[in-house]
Amino acid sequence: MITRLAKFILLATAACFLSSCAFVHQPIAISLQITPNEVLDAPAGQPCLLFAEIEGVDVDAGSAVTVSASATDADISPCTWQLSGDGIIEFAVTPDPASTGNRVQVVLVAEIEGTVRQDICVLHVTDALSEDGAISRAREAEEIRHEFYEWMIETCPSIPAETSGAWTGIPIRPHRLVVSHYVFFSGDWEIVIWWHVTTPPHDWARIYIRRRFTDRTPWIAAEISSLLNGELPRAIDPPELVFR
C-alpha cells in the first residue's frame, strides 16, 4: 500500500512537472508561402520577381522573424529580411546565363525563436529575348498600357503617371505564342498586361493591378475587347494568381 508520505511525494513531483511544463518552449505556428511556386519560362539573365507571405508573427510579443533566400546558379536581391510582424516580402531572382535549359531551385527559410519554416520555388530557365525582341516587346506593352491609363487613373488615383519614370518593365513568359505578356513595377504597384496577337475583332488586351507588399493576388483587372477597333476598357474579374 502507498503510504501518506509516498502519496505526498508523488503529488509534489507531479505538481513540479506540470509547473515546469509551462516554461517549455512551444513552437510558434508561423507560415511561409512563395508565390508563385513554379515559373515555367524564366529567361536567363533577366530578373524574375517573386514574393512570399509570412503569417503568425506575434507583434505584441516583440518577436522578429529572420527570412533568408538562396538559390543555385542565380543571383537573389535582397536575400535576407528582418520582420516584426506578418507581411509580404518581394525579391528578384536572376538566373545565370549558364543555367539556360536547367531548373533553378529557390529556397526561402523563415526562423523565429527556434521555429523554422521553408518553402521552395522552381524556375525553369529559358533563353533570353534578343535585344531587338525585348525593345519591340517593351514598346508594344507601353502602347497598350497607354490605352488603359485613363481607366487606371480613375480606378487607382494614387498610381504613378505613365511618364513619371517610376515604372520598370520586364517581359514575362516570352516564349508563349499567340499571347504576349509584360509586367511593369513601381515602388508600390505591379501592372501586368497581356494581349492576343491577332486581328480584329479578336485582338483583345487585358491588364491587372496588384498592390505590392499588400496583395497576394491581383487586385483589379480590365479588358479591351479589340484594340484596333478602338474599344474602351471594361472591368473584368482579376486572375486568381499572379503572372510570371
> Above 60 in pLDDT, residue 64?
yes
Q: What is the pLDDT of residues 8-36, one digit of tens each?
A: 444 555 554 444 444 444 556 789 999 99
Residues 229 and 141 in one domain: yes
**Could you give the number of structural domains in the chain?**
2
In a domain, 25, yes or no: no
One domain for residues 98 and 193:
no
Identify whether residues 221 and 175 lie together within a single domain: yes
Same domain membership, residue 194 and residue 155: yes
In a domain, 7, yes or no: no
Cell numbers for 55, please give them.
Answer: 503569417
> What is the pLDDT, as a whole number, of residue 13?
53
Question: Is 61 a residue whose pLDDT tops 90?
Answer: no
**48/96 Cα distance (integer angstroms):** 12
Q: Which domain holds residue 77?
A: 31-126
One DSSP character per residue, 136-166 reads: HHHHHHHHHHHHHHHHHHHH-TTSPPTTSS-
- Mean pLDDT confidence for 110-116: 90
Query: What is the mean predicted confidence (pLDDT) over 118-126?
Result: 97
pTM value? 0.84
Q: Of 126, 142, 164, which marks where a domain is finished? A: 126
pLDDT digits (tens, 9 = 90+) for 40-55: 999 999 999 999 999 9
Q: In what order do the strands lie in the sheet with 65-71?
A: 38-43, 115-126, 103-112, 65-71, 80-83
Specify whether 135 is located in the same domain as 224. yes
Q: Which of 73, 96, 126 is the C-terminal boundary of a domain?
A: 126
8 occurs within a structural domain: no
Across 94-105, b (16+ Cβ under 10 Å) vs e yields bbbeebbeeebe
140 domain residue, yes or no: yes
- pLDDT for the residue 59: 64
